[in-house]
Structure 1
Amino acid sequence: MSSGFKHLPRGNGVNGNEEVANWHTIGLFHEAETLWNNGIKQNAVFLAEALKNCPTVESVVLLNTTHVANTNQLPWDLERWLTVTFDDAKDKVDVLIELGGQIDANATAYLKERCARLISYCCGFEYVQAMASILFKRPTFGDNLFVNQRYDDI
Structure 2
Amino acid sequence: MAPEDFAALFATVERTAVHLELRDAYTPDDPLFLRWLEGQVTPADIAEHENGWAQIVRATVGRGVTMRRVRVVSEPLAPFVRFEYDGAGALNEAAGEQVRWLPRQQAAGLCLPANDFWLLDDRLVRFGYFSGIGDYLGAELTDDPALAEQCGSAFEAVWERATPHKDYRPQ
TM-score normalised per structure 2? 0.29
Higher relative CO (CA 8 A, sep ≥ 6), structure 1 or 2?
A: 2
User: Greater strand percent: which structure?
Assistant: 2
